[in-house]
Amino acid sequence: MRKHWIRSVTLTAILAVGASASGWDDAAAIAKGKKLFAANCAACHGVEGVGPGVDWRKKTADGRFPPPPLNGTAHTWHHQPSLLDRIIAEGGKMYGKSYNGWMPAFGDKLNKEDRSAIIKYLHSLWPEEIQKRYDKHFKLSD
């Protein structure tokens, strides 16, 4: 009995360390990312990344794609953290000329730490199931 108890306490401790060691559940960074997102991104991507309320897969009359939702219902979680960082830093031009991206570049305004806080915030918006799938594929340092 006692042995069992010790084993389960040890297991719980390992799981707890595992969760925080992944680095995603960083409350201070998420809070900072939330503020930065509201100030810089929500105007296009919607409050909490819900998107602008139009189909993000359909080009608008001007031949450009609308800003996609970032809350896990579109593609954001298919991209590793370093690519998300690049998209935020370089904006739509990083997709290449033919794509005609128009998201502004934030590299001058938001430093690496700011961008990392925003990415942690975005991750926190995703449904748990998607977070798990993402964390299986990618580490924060990827």
- Least separation in angstroms between CB 19 and ligand HEC: 24
Q: Is 40 in the site for ligand HEC (CB under 6 A)?
A: yes
Angle subtended by helix axes 27-40 and 112-125, to nearest 10 = 100
For residue 41, give the nearest of 118, 140, 107 by alpha carbon. Answer: 118
Distance between CA atoms of residues 108 and 130, nearest Å: 31
Over 48-62, what HEC string results?
A: HHCCCCCCCCCCCCC
Contact with ligand HEC (CB under 6 A) among 29, 84, 117, 125: 84
Q: C-beta of 134: minimal distance to ligand HEC in Å?
A: 13
Contact mark string toward ligand HEC, 89..118, x via CB under 6 A: ---x--x-----xxxx-x---x-------x
The one among 30, 88, 117, 125 contacting ligand HEC by CB under 6 A: 88
Q: Per rule CB under 6 A, is residue 54 in the interface with ligand HEC?
A: no
- At position 42, the amino acid (one-letter code) is A
Kindly tell me which residue out of 29, 32, 51, 70 binds ligand HEC, with binding defined by CB under 6 A.
70
Which of 141, 138, 39 shows the shortest CA–CA distance to 79?
A: 138
Our CA angle for 35, 36, 37, nearest 5°, is: 90
Smallest distance from ligand HEC to CB 28, Å: 18
Given the rule CB under 6 A, which residues bind ligand HEC? Answer: 40-41, 43-45, 64-65, 67-68, 70, 74-76, 79, 84, 87-88, 92, 95, 101-104, 106, 110, 118
